[in-house]
Chain A
Amino acid sequence: METEMVSALEERLLAILMVLIMLGMGASLTFKDFRIALRHPQAVGIGFASQYLFMPMIAFGLAQAFQLSGPQTIGLILMGCVPGGTTSNIFAYFSRSVLSLSILMTICSTIAAFFMVPLVMEIYTRDLDESLRIPATNIAAILFILLIPTAIGMWLRKRNANAGAVTELIGGVLGILVILFLLVTWVPRNWQLLIDTHPGVYGSAILLGLCGFLIGYLFSRSLKLDPRKARTVSLETGIQNGPLAILIVWLTFDGVLRDEVTVIPIMYSLFIVINSTIITFFYRARSIREELARDQAKVEPARNTRN
């Protein structure tokens, strides 16, 4: 029995959700934040390097190591190239990392994605068959269109701080909901495909996120960022905008090829939620331990107004 892997309805739904997610992302910061970020290139630089240097490199390396097929390689490299997801901001919040840094990195990598994703894709997929490659203009067009809701989100934030903050939250939560939505609709219908899939595909989809966490952390520690910021960069690097990658694939490929390319972005998206949740609990415990240690070192204000 052959079922179309993605229905037209799902495609449209994903596109709408994506617009809402970007709206939420825009609402997460103000024009001032953005201008401050540009004046302060360190965080942006680190975000850039981990996002557009390390992640594609990891993806390429994993594809080679697991000897993935052409369509799978495209899926994995695209997954490595897309900017950070808004979901990372939620995880940053819950893990008590530096939320503002997470938001800045997400927004910078998203805006830069307009030219960086086509460029990096070009570099890593130039040896692949022409029919497999995603046209640069295609990626650029999708990313450009998504900048519009981002700008509207920023404007909304400026107009009404409450509406902005709520939109931001909804955007972040939708990022996770999209993945849950895929889990309940896509996974059961493609059960057979998942069983037949080579373990290397699973391995690479899981390892992409984990390597991102690790390298993001080590890289920022090596640049002397404090542990809390390093954890933020780590989450930001490992968590990619899965729904965006899926949307690009769906809008580019058709039929069987589409199914094959989509496998890795979908698996990545499913596993990253699990991985990030575990990492978040781990990071949260570390943050709390550090905070407690700091509290121990100082004396709480209320406790010493008298003896």
Chain B
Amino acid sequence: MKHCEAYDRAPWSNQYERPFDPEDVAPGFENLPALIRDASSSWPDQLAFTTCMPNGMNGSLSFGDVEAMSDAFAAYLREELGLEAGTRVAVQMPNCLSFPVAAFGVLKAGCVLVNTNPLYTAPEMRHQFRDSGAEVVVILDMFLDKLEAVIEETPVRHVVVASVAQWFPRVVRGILKGVLRYWNRVIPDTDLTATPINQALRTGRHHLNEKEIDVSRYTSEVGHDSPAVLQYTGGTTGVSKGALLTHGNLLVNMRQLDLISQGYLEPGRDCVLTALPMYHIFAFTVNLLLFYHHGGRNVLVPSPRPIQNCQRAIENYPINWITGVNTLYNALLHEEWFNIYPPRTIKVALAGGTALHQSVSERWLDTVGCPIVEGYGLTESSPLLCFNPINRARPDSIGIPAPGTRVRLVDEAGACVPAGEAGELVARGPQVMSGYWNRPEETEATVKDGWLHTGDIAVMDEDGYFRIVDRKKDMVLVSGFNVYPNEVEDCLATMDAVHEAAVVGVPDPESGEQVWAYVVPRAEALTEADLAAHCKANLAGYKRPRRFIFREELPKTPVGKVLRKELRDEAHRAAAPATAAEELAGQGEG
């Protein structure tokens, strides 16, 4: 533990806007519903959410609307369905107006929100609903058929259904629904009994009036340690498990976000582009909770793919904040409309989720005129752990630990590595989850003595800025040298003819592993020789990819992280076709 001192004296602490005071990092509110209520009463008539469809059709809800509707939804859950505090309620929707109403309603009812990816397949839904024990699902009509296929095998008792055009002006809603149902045929016919969300709200409102209920009493027992959200994540071990985030975790994390964005958040005046899905922890905490808290307007894009779906949202609204991941920014920068009319009103672009490539960050600064500020965090930490001070973001760095967060870099044995050397980033702070839902072993493997093990390899500079070199499991070992895929990808991405690239390691009998690169070309003329020449000029021999594979696109997670694992599996199969064939033959005989 001799090197821990280098981290524990917090060399980054003089980088904060103001000296760190533990008092600053306090939840501020009793629970999340109290914070929501505070915001709703401060800006009742201002618009809180606007959903913008790819053709510009849109619908909005004011803070007052959201307050009244989520109250009604909470009453529906408690009075009509008879749920108790702590019951899990899954919300499975892309970005749309129903999302905040349902999510806030669940929290106000004192229930636990289970954020669920709407793109899940039926078996994945079954796993998540069973694991979380969700009794109610709020889902979009488009995905009802998948739910129907597995609902019998889950604890789900009630289904509430919404449409993507929910609460749009009547004519627009009719047109959108008609097109989705009759032409695109994406709304399946099912026999599932489901309550339309509007009807649920009517019922809830009826209960509220009838019994003169004060919704805040549902959460009178809910405090900082009470569970608020079950956020599912693959984590490092593969099995999808629910990180249990408490009201305190989320409230403190928002407070930490406040502290680092002082002077940039203007209460009641900001407008944030929410193209990342709110069921993901990044947009959930930052866009949904933080901007609602400060009276900001969320412009919701239901699906940012293709990226052109964001065009009308960016054109039609005075967006001044944007959150995204590397791939989103990269995609925007490759759009003609974005380059010709970049939104000059943007003052802060936040990036997280995955390493931000240097080339993307530079092009963004050139095009939009504001830097992309990179932060770092995990589902398990609500999510923010580290951030770059907004006005002096350091390129290629995740910045410094958020106020109130301790960070160390450790080796395999768990001992601190000397400052300046690479080690696994571990962190502890009030935003770190209390554990995985019903998985004590997994929790123990991830949170050891209160330290969250991130699985990311980082180095610390002298002044306390951290730099992620790569995911532990993505590292490639070539003849004993560590190759960090990020570095090679970044090098490839600096070529104009390269749209994006992903680098993986495959087994090699001589060097242990060799580097392969999957490349999405932007120019058709790009050849392997060009790529090899570029790498030769910029990378040491052992880092250079031995094979280049051209692709139309790369596999990605819903937020747009490149799935290196998929590519690695594929590369492994391709690298050892003979072995694979033998295995198959063997199986056939057996």
B57 touches A298 (CB 8 A): no
A contact residues around B558 at 8 Å (CB): 301-302
A301 touches B557 (CB 8 A): yes
A182 CB to closest chain B CB, in angstroms?
A: 25
B566 touches A36 (CB 8 A): no
0 or 1 for each of A94-109: is its CB under 8 Å from B? (1 = yes): 1000001000000000
B171 touches A303 (CB 8 A): no
B123 CB to closest chain A CB, in angstroms?
A: 10
B contact residues around A168 at 8 Å (CB): 55
The answer to whether the Cβ of A127 comes within 8 Å of any Cβ in the partner chain is: no
A contact residues around B553 at 8 Å (CB): 294, 297-298
The answer to whether the Cβ of A300 comes within 8 Å of any Cβ in the partner chain is: yes
Interface segment, A56-64, A159-167, A214-222?
A159-167
The answer to whether the Cβ of B124 comes within 8 Å of any Cβ in the partner chain is: yes
B58 touches A162 (CB 8 A): yes
A contact residues around B168 at 8 Å (CB): 162
A10 CB to closest chain B CB, in angstroms?
A: 29
The complex places the Cα of A40 from the Cα of B336 at a distance, in Å, of 9
**Which among B183, B316, B340 is the interface contact of A36 at CB below 8 angstroms?**
B340
Within 8 A of A (CB), among B311-370: 312, 315-316, 336-337, 340-341
The complex places the Cα of A169 from the Cα of B337 at a distance, in Å, of 23
- Please name the residue on chain A nearest to B553 by beta carbon: A298
B172 touches A304 (CB 8 A): no
The complex places the Cα of A40 from the Cα of B556 at a distance, in Å, of 30
A32 touches B552 (CB 8 A): no
B contact residues around A299 at 8 Å (CB): 555, 563, 566
| Dominant secondary structure of chain B at its interface with chain A | loop
0 or 1 for each of B64-101: is its CB under 8 Å from A? (1 = yes): 00000000000000000000000000000000000000
A contact residues around B169 at 8 Å (CB): 162
**Which among A294, A300, A305 is the interface contact of B234 at CB below 8 angstroms?**
A305
The complex places the Cα of A32 from the Cα of B342 at a distance, in Å, of 11
The complex places the Cα of A112 from the Cα of B552 at a distance, in Å, of 36
B275 CB to closest chain A CB, in angstroms?
A: 15
Interface segment, B7-15, B114-122, B387-395, B425-433?
B114-122
- Please name the residue on chain B nearest to A39 by beta carbon: B340
The answer to whether the Cβ of B34 comes within 8 Å of any Cβ in the partner chain is: no
The answer to whether the Cβ of B443 comes within 8 Å of any Cβ in the partner chain is: no
The answer to whether the Cβ of B217 comes within 8 Å of any Cβ in the partner chain is: no
The complex places the Cα of A157 from the Cα of B336 at a distance, in Å, of 21
The answer to whether the Cβ of B239 comes within 8 Å of any Cβ in the partner chain is: yes
- Please name the residue on chain B nearest to A294 by beta carbon: B552
B556 touches A301 (CB 8 A): yes
- Please name the residue on chain B nearest to A303 by beta carbon: B121
The answer to whether the Cβ of A307 comes within 8 Å of any Cβ in the partner chain is: yes
0 or 1 for each of B237-258: is its CB under 8 Å from A? (1 = yes): 0111000000000000000000
- Please name the residue on chain A nearest to B555 by beta carbon: A299
B234 touches A301 (CB 8 A): no
B554 touches A165 (CB 8 A): no
The complex places the Cα of A91 from the Cα of B240 at a distance, in Å, of 43
The answer to whether the Cβ of A306 comes within 8 Å of any Cβ in the partner chain is: yes
The answer to whether the Cβ of B308 comes within 8 Å of any Cβ in the partner chain is: yes
A298 touches B555 (CB 8 A): yes
**Which among B119, B175, B234, B315 is the interface contact of A166 at CB below 8 angstroms?**
B175
B240 CB to closest chain A CB, in angstroms?
A: 5
Within 8 A of B (CB), among A155-206: 157, 161-162, 164-166, 168-169
Within 8 A of B (CB), among A239-279: none
A contact residues around B315 at 8 Å (CB): 30, 32
Known contacts being A32-B341, A165-B55, is A302 close to B316, with CB within 8 Å? no
A contact residues around B552 at 8 Å (CB): 294, 297-298
The answer to whether the Cβ of B547 comes within 8 Å of any Cβ in the partner chain is: no
Known contacts being A169-B175, A301-B556, A304-B565, is A161 close to B340, with CB within 8 Å? no
The complex places the Cα of A168 from the Cα of B554 at a distance, in Å, of 35
The complex places the Cα of A166 from the Cα of B58 at a distance, in Å, of 11
**Which among B117, B120, B554 is the interface contact of A298 at CB below 8 angstroms?**
B554
- Please name the residue on chain B nearest to A30 by beta carbon: B315
B239 touches A306 (CB 8 A): yes
B337 CB to closest chain A CB, in angstroms?
A: 6
B172 touches A302 (CB 8 A): no
- Please name the residue on chain A nearest to B312 by beta carbon: A161
- Please name the residue on chain A nearest to B124 by beta carbon: A302
Q: How many residues of B contact A (CB 8 A)?
A: 39
B234 touches A306 (CB 8 A): yes
A304 touches B563 (CB 8 A): yes
Known contacts being A162-B172, A305-B557, is A157 close to B56, with CB within 8 Å? yes
A contact residues around B312 at 8 Å (CB): 161
A232 CB to closest chain B CB, in angstroms?
A: 14
B555 touches A162 (CB 8 A): no
B contact residues around A297 at 8 Å (CB): 551-553
The complex places the Cα of A100 from the Cα of B171 at a distance, in Å, of 23
B119 touches A307 (CB 8 A): no
B140 CB to closest chain A CB, in angstroms?
A: 14
B238 touches A302 (CB 8 A): no
A302 touches B171 (CB 8 A): no
The complex places the Cα of A301 from the Cα of B280 at a distance, in Å, of 13
B56 touches A161 (CB 8 A): yes
Known contacts being A164-B56, A301-B119, is A32 close to B337, with CB within 8 Å? yes
B445 CB to closest chain A CB, in angstroms?
A: 16
B145 CB to closest chain A CB, in angstroms?
A: 15
The complex places the Cα of A222 from the Cα of B117 at a distance, in Å, of 42
The complex places the Cα of A294 from the Cα of B553 at a distance, in Å, of 9
A contact residues around B336 at 8 Å (CB): 36, 40
A162 touches B57 (CB 8 A): yes
B555 touches A301 (CB 8 A): yes
The complex places the Cα of A194 from the Cα of B300 at a distance, in Å, of 54
The complex places the Cα of A166 from the Cα of B312 at a distance, in Å, of 15
B220 CB to closest chain A CB, in angstroms?
A: 37
A contact residues around B119 at 8 Å (CB): 300-302
A168 CB to closest chain B CB, in angstroms?
A: 8
A159 CB to closest chain B CB, in angstroms?
A: 11
0 or 1 for each of A1-45: is its CB under 8 Å from B? (1 = yes): 000000000000000000000000000001011011001100000
**Which among A94, A161, A304, A305 is the interface contact of B58 at CB below 8 angstroms?**
A161
A31 CB to closest chain B CB, in angstroms?
A: 10
The complex places the Cα of A307 from the Cα of B554 at a distance, in Å, of 18
B292 CB to closest chain A CB, in angstroms?
A: 23
- Please name the residue on chain B nearest to A299 by beta carbon: B555
The complex places the Cα of A143 from the Cα of B341 at a distance, in Å, of 30
A36 touches B555 (CB 8 A): no
- Please name the residue on chain B nearest to A35 by beta carbon: B340
**Which among A157, A164, A304 is the interface contact of B566 at CB below 8 angstroms?**
A304
The complex places the Cα of A223 from the Cα of B546 at a distance, in Å, of 34
Known contacts being A298-B554, A301-B555, is A306 close to B240, with CB within 8 Å? yes
- Please name the residue on chain A nearest to B52 by beta carbon: A161
B contact residues around A307 at 8 Å (CB): 238
Would you mind naming 25 contact pairs between A and B with Cβ atoms under 8 Å apart? A32-B340, A32-B341, A33-B337, A39-B340, A100-B308, A161-B57, A162-B56, A162-B58, A162-B168, A162-B169, A165-B57, A166-B57, A169-B175, A297-B553, A298-B553, A298-B555, A299-B555, A300-B119, A302-B120, A302-B121, A302-B558, A304-B563, A304-B565, A304-B566, A306-B238
Instruction: Give 6 A-B pairs besides A161-B316, A301-B558, A302-B121 with Cβ atoms closer than 8 angstroms.
Output: A30-B315, A40-B336, A157-B56, A301-B555, A301-B557, A306-B239
Nearest 4 A/B pairs, CB to CB: A161-B56, A302-B119, A299-B555, A306-B240
User: Which residues of A does B touch, CB under 8 Å?
Assistant: 30, 32-33, 35-36, 39-40, 94, 100, 157, 161-162, 164-166, 168-169, 294, 297-307
